[in-house]
Amino acid sequence: MRPLEQCRLYTFVDTAFLRGRAAAAVAEELCRGGSDLIQLRAKNLPPEQVRQLAGEILPVLRRAGVGLVINDHWDIAREMDADFCHLGQEDFFGGGMTHAAQLPTRNARPRLGLSTHDPAQAARALAAGPAYLGAGPVYATGTKPGAPPVTLEYVRWAAANVTIPWFAIGGIHLGNLDDVLRAGAERVCAVSAILNAPDIAQACREFKKRLEPRVKNRGKSLRNGTVDMAGQKG
């Protein structure tokens, strides 16, 4: 898979959005469209079903060179040799953990991703030594009903203060993606905007078309000692 620092588009095989489609077929479309990371999110399914779904999509992702993230289930992520496991604040800190080194791994995998919703949570999460952070929900989203949006203010804060890879998440679609990028995000997660699209692979390509040139242009500006005002942090 791409080095995490180069990953821009983080997508999902979310059982809430499969609507009868096979998980492996959805994963194939996500890979074909250019996803860099794919999370298996199977809320409310028993561990044995999560394990089965992971086994179905893992070969697809390995052939495509795309990283696998397992949501919530650290033991399954370790067993399946997944690249990452994503945990919420309550799962990690509420489970008595304070640092990623406390989690058992196999061959240094999985690596930890943590959700954050405000600067205080981000500071606590960073001290725990994760591989990446999620920052959101940026906008109201049906995937996190009842969760108040963190708004673009938190995106701006993360852009100015978080030095490890982080992904803006929550209600992001092609209509508001440019606002999220202007606020300083370089990586995004997209769930319903892609899984509800008539053509999953094409939806991924549209996201990547916006993400990749912006990152290249920002890097070019920094090398030249200039600042792109549209991408200015703060």
Q: How confident is the model at residue 141 (pLDDT cuts 50, 70, 90)?
A: confident
pLDDT of residue 217: 55
Span 187-210, average pLDDT:
97
CB burial string 134-151: b at 16+ within 10 A, e below: bbbbbbebebbeeeebbe
How confident is residue 143, by pLDDT bands cut at 50, 70 and 90?
confident
pLDDT at 211: 95
Residue 76: the pLDDT is 98
CA 193 to chain centre: 14
Cis peptide before 165 (omega within 30 of 0): no
Residue range 6-32: mean pLDDT, rounded: 97
Whether the CB-CB separation of 160 and 135 falls below 8 Å is answered with: no
Give the mean pLDDT of 147-156: 95
Alpha-carbon torsion (144, 72, 66, 165), positive or negative: positive
**Residue 228 above 80 pLDDT?**
no
Higher pLDDT, 218 or 48: 48
CA angle 197, 88, 185 (to 5 degrees): 55
pLDDT tens digits for 1-13? Answer: 899 999 999 999 9
> Which band of pLDDT confidence, cut at 50, 70 and 90, is reported for residue 187?
very high
Q: Which domains does the chain have, with CATH numbers?
A: 4-231 (3.20.20.70)
The tens digit of pLDDT for each residue in 99-118 reads 999 999 988 999 999 999 99
Which tens digits make up the pLDDT trace of 53-110? Answer: 999 999 999 999 999 999 999 999 999 999 999 999 999 999 999 999 999 998 899 9
Residue 9 phi/psi, 5-degree rounding, is -115, 120
In this prediction the pTM is 0.91
Average pLDDT of the chain is 92
- When pLDDT is averaged across residues 111-139 and rounded to a whole number, the result is 97
